[in-house]
Amino acid sequence: MTVSEAKRREMHAELVKKLGASVADTLMDYLPPAGWSDLARRSDLDAMESRLKAELAGKINSQTRWFMASQLVLVTAVIGSISAVAH
């Protein structure tokens, strides 16, 4: 359930009447600026971390394979050039 800004102001006004402005302000500061459903839980962050690590590992593996293949082509070309010059 999302609390509207009007409901937040109404709650603040009632808290001021019952507890005073200072306490009401402090209590309101502890509320999230949006609904509680908009906040991430620790499990949400852990799941995102796992997905990001897997994605990053895949990209690094792909990049490493591409790099090694390009180096193999380069070494082959250099050896071929040296062989051609030597004969």
pLDDT at 75: 96
Do 72 and 84 lie in a common domain? yes
Number of independent structural domains in the chain: 2
**pTM of the prediction?**
0.47
Q: Which residues 6+ apart lie within 8 Å of 64 measured at CB?
A: none
d(CA 85, CA 87): 6
Do 26 and 45 lie in a common domain? no
Do 57 and 45 lie in a common domain? yes
Cβ(40)–Cβ(72) below 8 Å = no
pLDDT at 1: 58
pLDDT at 80: 92
Q: What is the mean pLDDT, run by run of 10 residues, along the chain of 87 residues?
A: 81 95 93 73 93 96 96 95 87
Do 79 and 57 lie in a common domain? yes
Q: Which of 34, 32, 39 is nearest to 4 (CA)?
A: 34
Do 35 and 46 lie in a common domain? no
Provide the residue range defining the domain that includes 16.
Answer: 1-39
